Amino acid sequence: MWKSAEKILAAAVLAGALAATGIAVADPQPAAKAAATKGEKDKARQAVNVLTPAGASAPAGKTPIALGRPALPEEIAAWNIDVRADGEGLPPGKGSVKEGEELFLQNCATCHGEFGEGAGRWPVLAGGRGTLKSERPEKTIGSFWPYASTVYDYVHRAMPFGSNMTLSADQTYAIVAYLLNLNDLVPENYVLSKENFSKVDLPNEANFFDDDRETSEKAFWKTNPCMKECSGEVHVTARAQILNVTPDGDPPKGDLE
Amino acid sequence: MSDTSLPPVERAPGAKPSLSKPSLSRRRFLNLAGVGAGAAVAVGGRSALAAPAAGAPDPNIVPVPDWTRTLGAPVNENPYGKPSVFEKDVVRREVTWLTASSQSSVSFTPLYALDSVITPNGLCFVRHHGGQAEIEPDKYRLMIHGMVDKPLVFTLEDIKRMPGRVNRAYFLECAANSGMEWRGAQLNGCQFTHGMIHNLFYTGVPLKTLLDMAGVNPKGKWVLAEGADAAVMTRSIPLEKAMKDCLVAFAMNGEALRPEQGYPVRLVVPGWEGNMWVKWLRRLKVGDQPWQQREETSKYTDLLADGRSRRFTFVMDAKSVVTSPSPQAPLKQKGPNVLSGIAWSGRGTITRVDMSLDGGRNWTTARLDGPAMPMSMTRFYLDFDWAGQELMVQSRAMDDTGYVQPTKQELRAVRGTNSIYHNNGIQTWLVRANGETENVEVG
């Protein structure tokens, strides 16, 4: 009881303080009304039907959550666009290298170049075989990507940049066929389809392995790192200012919020 | 398609890069550093900004300043509120040459100007792959399907009515943070070298709650998270992680998510690379294997020196950076200075941060202040009396798994320089006798 009395008092003090500054304050009565006996509080608690997250062991008297509604098959079909490495998710359809070349020139070449060589800083899509160990690796579909399914999925999902999800299934198969041909992975007369998709393996697939840092970099877990005289004389070996590629100090123009 | 890998530019020691860039003049350096054109970095004496003539009263005290003698702006001058006009340079910044398009690019957190551990909402770095989606909250839908008993659709209101709402502070770091520094010191400012990180309090519902409602098939092992933006961003997340601590979040630091952070709903994947924290979350699909999406094969895989590539390197290793001094926040005066920085680990809680002022030869344990929570940013300080000598400032974070942040040399020895992602090596700032500070490498 005394806690509630304290609350009322605090509310009254606050009201007085604000009133002194000319601010109108709502009736502090809710705090008074909250001052119920322990018995009344227990009764009120019993009346509240406590919800439990589904799957959690619901104690007797509690209700599982009834939120959301069933997803309709046509709704799932509209959004279910992902294609997996095993081909799951590929829609029916087909497209030839020749058709793909035409589509690529119309929709993709501005950024990626006519032969997937890339323009400016836009990604290079073809070539680069044998460069992964070099100082300047060129990570293309043919040299780096592990799965052809990713090309289909991504071209359909996110390309062409700025008008994504406008390509039909046949058009997407055709563009993927052209990209595979640019990377010397299928012949010029190839027709790519849902049926033969799984026959296309990308050459770099075997060179990917799962995160192993906890074993391969075990040396980074050390209990007592060196604190004193940890090295000989230290010298500056490289400087950022020489490169001179940092944006200058003018803040961006325009309305930031 | 834009290159999202943020690769380093061609770099030959001592040579200018082939890309033509506006010159970072000394005047611009001073502007960037917030010192102001014409004002020298005041070292070795009193600050020129407020120094009264010897013996004369300070003009900021006598006479009484205008702001004390006249009424100020009314309470609702800015109904939302804005930073002080004197802080107008504390903004996110882009490095325009880094990416082909500013819709698929990044704008960096101004870490050099921030303190404590929570990033202000308007300064959180932004990374889009297809521009910022604008979604009306009434039209927002989240679908769960795949290997579940009951495919479900939720509205935003449904998510906000779910029991078990939580508040959690987590850092979000882009896997490519510091990615431009693999081959050597490149960008001159912690905003650019380390600014693809923010740390926020999220409000949301455990992802487990939603998955349990749909009923995950026992054969389900992975969850595909998909965004509603024009990149239709996707990542495969192990079910174990999804059920452990991921959140479906609708608020950041107490207010609705900013549009650039995924309004109205984003995924929170604590401790793991930022790309997995799908913004504008529209779909969760349960399956028995990863989907091998573009962002987990072509990108966000770590190419090693031997030509092989590590994939599913989700966890962000322990890392730290000194934010003051740093190139944009040089030392301005001799004598007492507060050196400060941030540390974080995706594997757990930061337990200790050491600082070196001589390029890593000798170390002193810094003071941690503020909350040190798991997978959340931790602030460290070193109260330091500067005699004006040249400094090579470093910080070294340690977490409760015993992981010690490696040097850049140690990291390159095991990973090479083509990794792009997960560069958590120790940063060095060279502080010159005039206080000017530069991003350097030491050896």
Return the CATH number at A134. Answer: 1.10.760.10
**B292 and B221 within one domain:** yes
Residue A96 lies in a domain: yes
d(CA A226, CA B410): 14
Dihedral class, residue B259 (left if φ above 0, else alpha if ψ from -120 to 50, else beta): alpha
Question: Range of B262's domain?
Answer: 127-310
**A199 and A81 within one domain:** yes
Q: How far is A5 from chain B (nearest CA, A)?
A: 31
| Partner-chain contact A208 B9, CB within 8 Å | no
- The answer to whether the CB of B336 falls within 8 A of the CB of B344 is no
d(CA B8, CA A242): 15
Residue B86 lies in a domain: no
Predicted pLDDT at B129: 96
**B362 and B271 within one domain:** no
For residue B417, give the chain A residue with the closest CA. Answer: A135
Task: Return the DSSP state at B260.
Answer: G
Q: What ipTM goes with this model?
A: 0.88
> Bridge partners of B225?
B235, B284
* Identity of the residue in B91, B153, B188 whose CB atom sits nearest the CB atom of A69: B153
Burial of B230 by CB count in 10 Å (0-12 exposed, 13-18 middle, 19+ buried)? buried
Residue A149 lies in a domain: yes
B244 CB within 8 Å of a chain A CB? no
| Partner-chain contact A65 B213, CB within 8 Å | yes
At residue B309, what is the residue type? S
Predicted pLDDT at A254: 31
**B358 and B299 within one domain:** no
Residue B68 lies in a domain: no
Q: Which residues contact A175 (CB under 8 A, 6 or more apart)?
A: A95, A100, A103, A104, A107, A108, A155, A167
**B248 and B305 within one domain:** yes
Q: Which of B264, B289, B310 is the last residue of a domain?
A: B310
Q: A51 vs B148, B149, B250, CA distance in Å?
A: 22, 21, 21
Residues of chain A contacting B292 with CB distance shorter than 8 Å:
84-85, 146-147, 149-150
Q: Both tokens of residue A218?
A: 């075990």
**B365 and B348 within one domain:** yes
Residue B33 lies in a domain: no
Question: Range of A196's domain?
Answer: 75-207
Task: Return the DSSP state at B4.
Answer: -
The β-bridge relationship of strands B350-356 and B364-365 is: antiparallel
* Identity of the residue in A71, A209, A246 whose CB atom sits nearest the CB atom of B189: A246
CA end-to-end distance (rounded Å), chain B: 39
Predicted pLDDT at B385: 97
Q: Which residues contact A168 (CB under 8 A, 6 or more apart)?
A: A93
3-state SS assignment for residue B26:
helix
Q: How far is B443 from chain A (nearest CA, A)?
A: 6
Residue A186 lies in a domain: yes
Number of domains in chain B: 2
User: Is the N-terminal amide bond of B57 cis, ω within 30° of 0?
Assistant: no
Residue A52: how many CA atoms within 13 Å on its side-chain side? 11
d(CA A53, CA A66): 10
A137 CB within 8 Å of a chain B CB? yes
Residue A104 lies in a domain: yes
| Partner-chain contact B143 A208, CB within 8 Å | no
Q: For chain B, how big is the Rg over CA atoms in Å?
A: 23
3-state SS assignment for residue B48:
coil
Cα torsion through A50, A56, A59, A61, rounded to 10: 40
d(CA B24, CA B22): 6
| Partner-chain contact B88 A144, CB within 8 Å | no
- The answer to whether the CB of B171 falls within 8 A of the CB of B158 is no
**B412 and B356 within one domain:** yes
d(CA B6, CA B177): 9
Mutate to test the interface with B, among A159, A176, A239, A256 (most CBs of B within 10 A): A239
DSSP B366-407: PEEES---TTS-EEEEEEEEE-S--EEEEEEEEETT-BBPPP
**A79 and A26 within one domain:** no
Predicted pLDDT at B321: 98
DSSP H or E segment with residue B286: strand B281-287
Start-end of H helices in B169-309: 190-193, 207-214, 239-244
DSSP chain A: -HHHHHHHHHHHHHHHHHHHTT-----SHHHHHH---HHHHHHHHHHS--EE-TTS---TT-EE---SEEPPHHHHHHH-----TTSTTPPS-EEEHHHHHHHHHHHTHHHH-TTS--STTSPP-S--TT-TTSSS----TTTT-S-HHHHHHHHHHH-STTSTT-S-HHHHHHHHHHHHHHTTSS-TT-EEETTTGGG---TTGGGEEE--HHHHTGGGB-SS---SS-SS---EEEEHHHH--S--SPPPPS---
The least confident of A18-27, A142-151, B96-105, B276-285 is A18-27
Residue B273's CB is within 10 A of a number of other CB atoms, namely 23
DSSP H or E segment with residue B321: strand B319-324
Q: Which of B256, B282, B310 is the last residue of a domain?
A: B310
Predicted pLDDT at A245: 84
**B355 and B227 within one domain:** no
Residues of chain B contacting A59 with CB distance shorter than 8 Å:
none
Q: Both tokens of residue B112?
A: 């050099």
3-state SS assignment for residue B258:
coil
**B331 and B295 within one domain:** no
Predicted pLDDT at A228: 98
| Higher per-residue confidence, A252 vs A223 | A223
Predicted pLDDT at A250: 43
Q: How far is A2 from chain B (nearest CA, A)?
A: 31
CA-closest candidate to residue B93, choices B201, B199, B188: B188
Q: What is the CATH number of the domain that holds B337?
A: 2.60.40.650
Residues of chain B contacting A242 with CB distance shorter than 8 Å:
14, 16
**A20 and A120 within one domain:** no
Residue A170 lies in a domain: yes
Say how far residue B345 (Cα) sits from the centre of its chain.
12
Say how far residue B384 (Cα) sits from the centre of its chain.
26
| Partner-chain contact A240 B14, CB within 8 Å | no
Residues of chain A contacting B363 with CB distance shorter than 8 Å:
225-228, 230
A51 CB within 8 Å of a chain B CB? yes
| Higher per-residue confidence, A2 vs B163 | B163
Residue B300 lies in a domain: yes
Residue A230 lies in a domain: no
pLDDT in tens, chain B (443 residues): 344 444 443 333 333 333 333 344 444 444 444 443 333 444 444 444 555 678 899 999 999 999 999 999 999 999 999 999 999 999 999 998 888 889 999 999 999 999 999 999 999 999 999 999 999 999 999 999 999 999 999 999 999 999 999 999 999 999 999 999 999 999 999 999 999 999 999 999 999 999 999 999 999 999 999 999 999 999 999 999 999 999 999 999 999 999 999 999 999 999 999 999 999 999 999 999 999 999 999 999 999 999 999 999 999 999 999 999 999 999 999 999 999 999 999 999 999 999 999 999 999 999 999 999 999 999 999 999 999 999 999 999 999 999 999 999 999 999 999 999 999 999 999 999 999 999 999 99
Q: What is the CATH number of the domain that holds B194?
A: 3.90.420.10
**B246 and B328 within one domain:** no
Residue B20 lies in a domain: no
Q: A13 vs A5, A25, A114, A227, B31, CA distance in Å?
A: 12, 11, 76, 56, 49
**A149 and A31 within one domain:** no
B69 CB within 8 Å of a chain A CB? no
φ and ψ of B212, to 5 deg: -65, -35
| Partner-chain contact B306 A216, CB within 8 Å | no
| Partner-chain contact A236 B442, CB within 8 Å | yes
Residues of chain B contacting A230 with CB distance shorter than 8 Å:
360-363
Task: Return the DSSP state at B179.
Answer: G
pLDDT at A37 > cutoff 60: no
For residue B95, give the chain A residue with the closest CA. Answer: A247
Q: How confident is the model at residue A40 (pLDDT cuts 50, 70, 90)?
A: low
Q: Is the dihedral of CA A216, A218, A219, A225 positive or negative?
A: positive
d(CA B352, CA B368): 7
Predicted pLDDT at B320: 98
**B284 and B182 within one domain:** yes
* Identity of the residue in A69, A158, A243 whose CB atom sits nearest the CB atom of B152: A69
3-state SS assignment for residue B410:
helix
Give residues 221 to 250 of A whose Cβ lies within 8 Å of B: 221-223, 225-232, 234-250
Residue A67 lies in a domain: no
At residue B156, what is the residue type? L
Q: Which of B310, B338, B358 is the last residue of a domain?
A: B310
**B436 and B371 within one domain:** yes
Q: Which residues contact B229 (CB under 8 A, 6 or more apart)?
A: B128, B129, B130, B131, B132, B133, B279, B280
B189-212 pLDDT, tens digit each: 999 999 999 999 999 999 999 999
Number of domains in chain A: 2
Q: How many CB pairs under 8 A join A and B?
A: 322
B392 CB within 8 Å of a chain A CB? yes
Predicted pLDDT at B342: 98
Predicted pLDDT at A34: 44
CA-closest candidate to residue A50, choices A63, A67, A68, A66: A63
Residue A50's CB is within 10 A of a number of other CB atoms, namely 11
Q: How far is B60 from chain A (nearest CA, A)?
A: 29
Predicted pLDDT at A63: 58
| Cα angle B426, B427, B431; round to 5 | 140
Task: Return the DSSP state at B165.
Answer: -
Residue B16 lies in a domain: no
Q: B330 vs A239, B23, B35, B333, B388, CA distance in Å?
A: 16, 20, 9, 9, 12
* Identity of the residue in B14, B360, B418 whose CB atom sits nearest the CB atom of A137: B418
CA end-to-end distance (rounded Å), chain A: 48
**B295 and B350 within one domain:** no
| Partner-chain contact B403 A220, CB within 8 Å | yes
3-state DSSP of B290-314 = CCCCHHHCCCCCEECCCCCEEECCC
- The answer to whether the CB of B152 falls within 8 A of the CB of A61 is no
Q: B409 vs A9, A19, A229, B15, B243, CA distance in Å?
A: 64, 65, 18, 22, 37
| Higher per-residue confidence, B7 vs A86 | A86
